[in-house]
Structure 1
Amino acid sequence: METLQEFDFVALNFDRDGTLTNPASWTEFKAAAARPGGPTDAIFIAHGFRNDETEARGLYSEFLRTFRRNMAQASVAGALAPRRFLVAGIFWPSKAFRESFGDGGVQSADNDAVQLEFAREQLAELRDLARTPEQERQIAEAMRLLPSLEGNEGAQDEFAALVLSIAEQEGAVLDPSDGFDRIQNTPGSTLLAKLQAPVILPTRRRDPDEGGVLAIDDGSSFGGEGEGQGLRAVFGSIFGRVGQLLNLTSWYVMKTRSGTVGETGVATCVRQLRGERPGLRVHLVGHSLGGRLMAACAKALAQPPVVHVHSLTLLQAAFSHFGLSADNREGTRGFFRDVIEQEVVEGPMVATFSFEDAVVGKAYAIASRLAGDNVQAVGDRHDPFGGIGRNGAQNLTESTEGPLQAVGSAYAFSPRVVHCLDGSGGLITSHGDVENENVTWAFASAVASTP
C-alpha cells in the first residue's frame, strides 16, 4: 500500500457521475481497514475545483505533513498517539475557475479582438463539459452568436440561455441559495448589463460595531490570490462581460459535479465502510468545492438508514453560507440542512473562512450581482448570496464563531456544532492556503476531541 507522509494512503478516483473508476483500490482500502491491529480512524479528503491529480496529491501531501507534526502537540498527543490513520484521497474531474485575469485572462481594456478570442476559448472549454449532443449543439450555436452580441439584446438573451443550459444536469437538484435559478430566469441582456459596472471585492471587514460594513478596494488591481482583490467584470466591451458569465457557468457546472460525486460516489463508500467496520472512526475533509462534495456526502448519509461520521472539516468551502441553516432569512431551508437535523456528524464540525479568500468571494460577488436586485452586491455575510468560505456559516443556531487559533492554542470543540474559524488577518491568506499548520491544528484538535 502507498504511504503519504507516513500515513497509509489509497487514491479513490471518481468520474463525473460519481462512479468509482478504480474499484480495486477501494477493495484494498477495505482490506486495510479490516486487518488485525489496523486503523482506528479513516480520513476521506477531497480537493477543490481547480486541481488536477498532481495538484490534488500535493494538497493531500502537505495537509498530511502538517497534520502529522501537529499530532505531537502536547494538548492532543495523548488522544492521538494511540490512533492509527488510513487515508482515502478523493480524485474527481474538476475544472479550473479563473481567479484573476492574470492567469490566462485578458488585461487589455481596448482590444476587442483579443477579448473575443478569449470568449471563444471559454466556450470551447464549456463544450467539453457538455453531457448530451443537444448541449453540444447549444454551445455551437452560442459560438455562432458570439460575434453579433454587441448592441443586440435579442442575441444576448439567446446566447445566455444557451450557455447556462450547460449547467443543467438530468436528475440534479439545484441549491436555491446559490442563485442559479434566478440567473437562468433573467434575460441575458439584463445579466450582461449588470456586469457593466465594476464588481469590487472588499479587502477587509470593519469593526463589528459598524454593522459589518465592508472596507472596499479601489478596484484598480487584477492580482491573484493574496494580492489586491479589486475585480472589474468588464473591460470596455461586451466580451469581457461575456467572459465573466462563461466563467460563472463553469463554476455552476463544477458545483453540480462535486455534489454528484459526494452523494453518489463517496457516500456509497462511507456507508459501506461504516457497515463493515462500525468501530472505525470516519472523518470527512474537503477543500473548496471538495467541501461541497463532503457536505453532499454527509447529506446523502442523512437518508435512511442514517449513517454517522465522527467529524466534518470544511476548508474554505464553496457553497452557500446558508447551506446548513434552517432558514436563509427568506424562509428557505439550507440545501445541506439534513446534515444538522439528522445529526450525521457525531463530533465537531469545523468550517474555516477568511476575508482574504478572493476565489469564493469573487464567485459569490458575481452570482449575487446577477441573481439579486442590488447592483452593488458583493456577496458578504449580509447578502442573500454568499459563500461559507468567505463569511462562515450564517443564520445557523448550531454554530459558533471565533478566530482560527495558532498552533498549540486550545479549542473547546463541542459535538454536533459547526465551529466557524476565521483565518482573516494572515492565518488563511488565500483560497488555497489550507495546508498550513494553523489549519491542520484545528483539524487535529477536532479529531482529538472525538471519543
Structure 2
Amino acid sequence: MSELGKTPFVWLTFDESGHLTGGIEPLRAIHALMEQEGARDLLILSHGWKNEHSHALRLYRSLWRHCLPHLPASRPFVVAGVSWPAVKYPTDFDGAALEAVLDTGALAAAGGGGAPQDLDERRFEQAIRAALPGNANLRLRRLARAAARDPGRVSGTALVQEMFERMAAIAEEAGQPDDPEITGECAAIRRAAEADPMQLWHASAQPLAGPAGRADGNGGALGRGGGGTFLAGPRATIARLLNQFTYFPMKIRAGNIGQMLAQYLDPQPFLRDKRLHLAGHSFGGRLVTACASRLQHLRPQSLTLLQAAFSHNGLAASSPAGAGAFANVIAEQRIKGPIAITHTHNDRACTLYYALASRLSGDRTLAVGDAGDPYGAMGANGAQHVAAQRHAGFPGAGGGGPVSGRVNNYLADRDIVAVPGGPDAHGNVANAATGRLLAAVMTAT
C-alpha cells in the first residue's frame, strides 16, 4: 500500500465480469486507512484504453505526484486505484499510418508515394486469431479467411452479418440494455447490416479520413508512402472490422465495471460522511461516470474526466443523438462539487479513432470527431448540449478555477500534447498541468 509514496493507496482490482477481487476486503482496507490517517477525502482513479496494471500504476503515481503539492498539507487523502482488464486492438496499423502522416505533415491523396498494400498473410492470421479466439469464433475465423480469398458480395455479406450477430450477443451478454450509447451504436449497425451488409465492408475498406481541413484538398483521404502507407485490400478491411470485437467489449466493460463499482461503494457506511472524488482517463472516464450515475446513497464531491473516451453527448438530457447514457449525473445533481472535463483535438484517439470506431454504420464524412459529429468523444470536444463553464486553459495564476456544481469544459490544447519520443496526447494526462487541475477540482468549494 506504499505505491504512491507516503499517501495510503489501495488497489480495486476487477475481473472481466465486474467482480472485485477479494470482495469487500479492499474497501475494509480503505476504511482502516482513512481512520488511521484521519482522512475525509478518498480519490478513486481509473485507467482506460489499452492499459494494463503496470501502465495504470505509472499513471497513478505520476498524476498524484503532480497533484499532491497543490493540496493543503492539513488535508490527508487516501487514494484507490482501479485495475480493470482493458483490451487492446489486435491490429492498429491505421494508427501508425495516421500518426506518420500527421506528424510529418506529408499530406497527399490516399496511396500517394506508392500504391497501398494489403496486410500480409502472417499479420492477417495474427489479427483474426487475436480478435476471434477460441472455439466459439471458429466459424467466424473461417468466414474471415474465405472473405479475404474472395472478397465478393457473398463471402463479405456472410462475414458482416455473422459479425453483427456476435457483436449484438456481446452487448446483450453485458447486460446494459439501458445504455443508450451502446444500444444506439448497435442499432445503427443493425440498420446498416439489414439495409446493405456490404456498406459496413466498404466503410472499413477506406483508409482513415482526417478531421476537417486535414485532407488532401480534393476531398480525398490522407495517405502517405513508405512507413505511413495506409493499408488497403480485403485483409486490411477485415482486420478493421474485427477491431470492433475489442472496441465494443472494452467500451461495454468500462460501463459495466463502473456500475459494479457503485454497487460496492454504496453500502459502505464509512463513506457517508466522507468526500468521494472520482477521476478517470480514456475509457476510465466512462467507468467513473457510470459509477456516479448508479450511486444511490453517495454523492461524490467531484468528477474529473481526463480525455474521456465516451460520447460528448453522454451527460446531455437531449441532443441530436438522443439522451446521454449518463444524463442523470447532471439532471439529478449526482456530483456535489465540480465536474471537470479536459478536451483537445491533439488527442487522436478521441478525435479520430473513437469517432471512427463508433460510426461503423458507414457515415465517414471528413468532419469526423468534431463537436457536430454525433459520434464525437468527450475528450475531443468536452460535454456538448449541457450548460457548461468553458475554460480556455487549465487553472493557474490567471484564474480558470473550476466552478462548483457545474460542468467545466477545459480546453487542453496547451497542456495535453504529444511528447516527442514519449506518450501521445491521449496518454499524456499525468503531467504538471493535469495534476494542478485535479487538485483544484478536489479542493473547490
Rate the CA distance shift 1:231–1:47 in 2: closer, same or farther, 3 A: farther
Cα distance, 1:38 vs. partner? 1.7
Cα distance, 1:375 vs. partner? 4.3
Show the 5 A alignment for 1:271-282.
Answer: 271-273=266-268, 275-282=269-276
Cα distance, 1:99 vs. partner? 5.3
TM-score normalised to structure 1 length:
0.82
Cα distance, 1:250 vs. partner? 1.1
Matched residue, 2:103: none
Asked if residue 379 in structure 1 is aligned to residue 343 in structure 2, the reply is no
Matched residue, 1:11: 11
User: Which one of the candidate residues 400, 409, 419 is aligned to 2:389?
Assistant: 400
- Write the deviation string for residues 21-65 of structure 1: whole angstroms up to 9, x where unpaired: 123333211222234x52120000000021111111011110111
Matched residue, 1:366: 356
Matched residue, 2:49: 49
Rate the CA distance shift 1:384–1:394 in 2: closer, same or farther, 3 A: same
Rate the CA distance shift 1:104–1:95 in 2: closer, same or farther, 3 A: farther
Matched residue, 1:285: 279
TM-score normalised to structure 2 length:
0.83
**One-letter code aligned to 1:118:** R
CA distance in 1, matches of 2:335, 2:210: 34
CA contact (8 A) 1:34 1:277 kept: no
- Write the deviation string for residues 278-303 of structure 1: whole angstroms up to 9, x where unpaired: 221110010000000001101111xx
CA distance in 1, matches of 2:151, 2:88: 30
- Write the deviation string for residues 123-153 of structure 1: whole angstroms up to 9, x where unpaired: 322334x8xxxxx43x211110122214322
CA contact (8 A) 2:351 2:369 kept: yes
Moved more, 364-373 or 86-95: 364-373
Flag as ranges the 4+ runs of structure 1 deviating above 6 A: 102-105
- Write the deviation string for residues 406-444 of structure 1: whole angstroms up to 9, x where unpaired: 654433422221111111245443101100111111111
CA distance in 2, matches of 1:421, 1:61: 23
CA distance in 2, matches of 1:310, 1:31: 21
User: Which one of the candidate residues 306, 313, 324 is aligned to 1:322?
Assistant: 313
Show the 5 A alignment for 1:134-213.
Answer: 136-137=135-136, 139-149=137-147, 150-164=150-164, 165-166=166-167, 167-170=170-173, 171-173=175-177, 174-176=179-181, 179-187=185-193, 188-202=197-211
CA distance in 2, matches of 1:346, 1:110: 53
**One-letter code aligned to 1:294:** V
CA contact (8 A) 1:369 1:376 kept: no
Show the 5 A alignment for 1:287-326.
Answer: 287-301=281-295, 305-326=296-317
For residue 272 of structure 1, give the secondary structure of its aligned residue in structure 2. coil
CA distance in 2, matches of 1:99, 1:83: 44
Show the 5 A alignment for 1:46-195.
Answer: 46-71=46-71, 80-97=72-89, 100-101=93-94, 112=118, 114=120, 116-128=121-133, 136-137=135-136, 139-149=137-147, 150-164=150-164, 165-166=166-167, 167-170=170-173, 171-173=175-177, 174-176=179-181, 179-187=185-193, 188-195=197-204
CA contact (8 A) 2:307 2:342 kept: yes
For residue 192 of structure 2, give the secondary structure of its aligned residue in structure 1. coil
- Write the deviation string for residues 168-226 of structure 1: whole angstroms up to 9, x where unpaired: 24222243476232124323421111233332223xxxxxxxxxxx32154235999xx
- Write the deviation string for residues 379-405 of structure 1: whole angstroms up to 9, x where unpaired: 2111111101111111112x1222232
CA contact (8 A) 1:292 1:317 kept: yes
Asked if residue 262 in structure 1 is aligned to residue 268 in structure 2, the reply is no
Show the 5 A alignment for 1:428-443.
Answer: 428-429=417-418, 430-443=425-438
CA distance in 1, matches of 2:263, 2:343: 28
Rate the CA distance shift 1:325–1:252 in 2: closer, same or farther, 3 A: same
- Write the deviation string for residues 339-393 of structure 1: whole angstroms up to 9, x where unpaired: 1111110000001011011112233332355335454451211111110111111
For residue 64 of structure 1, give the secondary structure of its aligned residue in structure 2. helix
Matched residue, 1:75: none
**One-letter code aligned to 1:13:** T
Aligned length: 407
Moved more, 84-93 or 240-249: 240-249
Rate the CA distance shift 1:152–1:52 in 2: closer, same or farther, 3 A: same
Matched residue, 1:205: none
Moved more, 403-412 or 345-354: 403-412
Matched residue, 1:242: 238
User: Which one of the candidate residues 407, 413, 424 is aligned to 1:424?
Assistant: 413
Asked if residue 220 in structure 1 is aligned to residue 223 in structure 2, the reply is yes
**One-letter code aligned to 1:194:** A
CA distance in 1, matches of 2:407, 2:123: 41
**One-letter code aligned to 1:380:** D
Rate the CA distance shift 1:123–1:100 in 2: closer, same or farther, 3 A: closer
Structure 2 unpaired stretches of 5+: 101-113, 217-221, 419-424
**One-letter code aligned to 1:270:** L
CA contact (8 A) 1:321 1:387 kept: yes
Matched residue, 2:2: 2
CA distance in 1, matches of 2:411, 2:224: 25
Structure 1 unpaired stretches of 5+: 72-79, 131-135, 203-213, 225-229
Rate the CA distance shift 1:21–1:81 in 2: closer, same or farther, 3 A: same
RMSD: 2.8
For residue 280 of structure 2, give the secondary structure of its aligned residue in structure 1. strand
For residue 334 of structure 2, give the secondary structure of its aligned residue in structure 1. coil
Cα distance, 1:159 vs. partner? 1.4
CA distance in 2, matches of 1:446, 1:67: 11
Matched residue, 2:330: 340
CA distance in 1, matches of 2:225, 2:434: 27
CA contact (8 A) 2:371 2:381 kept: yes
